[in-house]
Structure 1
């Protein structure tokens, strides 16, 4: 299932979980010419919304109709198609790639995707704290304690903290509570967005906090990168790390926008 959940690119394009490597692959392959003029969203009789190029519906690499449950979600994909210039670059279309993953991958086995998110929850990033320096410890506490307090109060999930990277066993009840809330969000596109956000941040709690509107885009991104930001402040960042971070931010933003659009 992890293989399915790596970006399902359109057509013959290869995928790689590293955005820098993915961009390098794309640079080596000729991109297809833009073949359409008009991009529209059409509501079908079954209440789903399809993206049309010059009046013809778009299909996923797996040949499924690219149809979404809300008009806003479909418009996100339509906007990416409309933004293409002379060629079509799938790397610049993170929402479309996420939708392809949902329709061609998650629909095959949503339970496996849910269980993968639970595996992240069992070693959630928010639970592993630095043992120094004091300024970093305080920064982690300020960014993460509120999220764990929210998980305990709103989700019924009480997590155990640890210092360093030594694994700590989380209470079975906490993981079960996360599982209950995920099972209530098992529609493929939402689950795909939650999985992407979880895999980028290392935190299922943070992904659920976004879906529950407990955190907005900017505060969630900052919370997910406390340690990285600290290291950059101390040592600086190289160009490759900056490019990698930009790619992750683009995909994270796409997942956030999809979750928001699914609210109607």
Structure 2
């Protein structure tokens, strides 16, 4: 419960400082204070400037072409991905854009940009530690002491997932009602870190992304291992919020948007992990490119509708 309060504190302070309506009884006819600048502005959208999306295989992997221009990362590196399946998925993101390019709807592109540019200059060990640190604050390990209905809800919904993880990896995780959280045994941390080390660097970028969305290593492992669906993982990560919404009511459109956005991000991250871990080629044909590939007519379901902002540059046409 206290974690929900912490999350709401910043937003609550903002709401308390805002006027509830237009002109109030205490406002006089004199000059009004200057309006505050908006803290957030939606990312700018660009008009779609390309007709066709294709993928070709180069020396470093699979490349994305928008008409005859090669996609590049924000740092102007050639946008090259290691697997055919991932290339097809990214191409689908670009092909699904309509009149304008909504970069914030392309999580897979963003994750690829992060992996290629590595703006924080992190290696494999740093990525593993960044994901493993969530063990100390795992959502499903923090429990409330009241009300009894929420205590029972957490026990019924979260205990089976923890039990699965303990059996799956042969470790002890447990839970706690202490504000300090559960005490994770050193062996548990070693086993899970060793498991994460079995993934390549690209997949680890996706794992850390999913963990940061769900705020839970346990739920992320369940999702990546296909023990949980995206919908189940998101619902379990928002158990307390859902309980409060059922008790106090739903904020029109806001809560629904938050859920769908979280599902989209989580789905994209999980898909990214699997596509980066996939060694076999997809069955779809590649779009025709300068290397002579056959036209690609297949579609991979778009993993996310609401996605992170990303900045991507295009190589100028020759």
1:102 — aligned with what?
115
| SS of the residue 1:117 aligns to | helix
Residues 1:49 and 2:65 aligned together: no
User: In structure 2, which of residues 41, 52, 66 is the aligned counterpart of residue 25 of structure 1?
Assistant: 41
CA root-mean-square deviation:
2.2
Cα distance change, pair 108–165 in 1 and its aligned pair in 2 (3 A)? closer
Please state how far the C-alpha of 1:119 moved relative to its aligned partner: 0.8
Q: Does 1:83 align with 2:96?
A: yes
Aligned length: 238
Q: Give how far 1:71 is off.
A: 2.0
Residue 258 of structure 1, aligned match among 249, 272, 282? 272
Any runs of at least 4 consecutive aligned residues in structure 1 with deviations exceeding 6 A, and if so which?
none
TM-superposition CA deviations, 1:119-160 (whole Å, max 9, x none) = 101221111112233332222223222222222222233113
Q: Which has the higher helix share?
A: 1
| TM-score with structure 2 setting the length | 0.68
Q: Structure 2 regions of 5+ residues with no counterpart?
A: 1-38, 281-318
Higher relative contact order (CA 8 A, sep 6+): 2
CA distance in 1, matches of 2:178, 2:262: 24
Q: Give the drift of 1:82.
A: 0.8
Name the SS for the 1:101 alignment partner. Answer: helix
- The answer (yes or no) to whether the contact 1:107–1:188 under 8 Å persists in 2 is no
Q: Does the 8 Å CA contact 1:131/1:163 hold for their aligned counterparts?
A: yes
Report the TM-score, using the length of structure 1 for normalisation: 0.81
Kindly state the Cα deviation for residue 164 of structure 1 after the two structures are TM-superposed.
5.1
Residue 224 and residue 119 in structure 1: after superposition, are their counterparts in 2 closer, same or farther (change >3 A)? same
Unaligned runs of 5+ in 1: 1-22
> Match for 2:128 among 107, 111, 114?
114
Q: 1:151, 1:205 within 8 Å by CA — same for their partners in 2?
A: yes
5 Å-filtered alignment, 1:236-251, equals: 236-238=249-251, 239-251=253-265
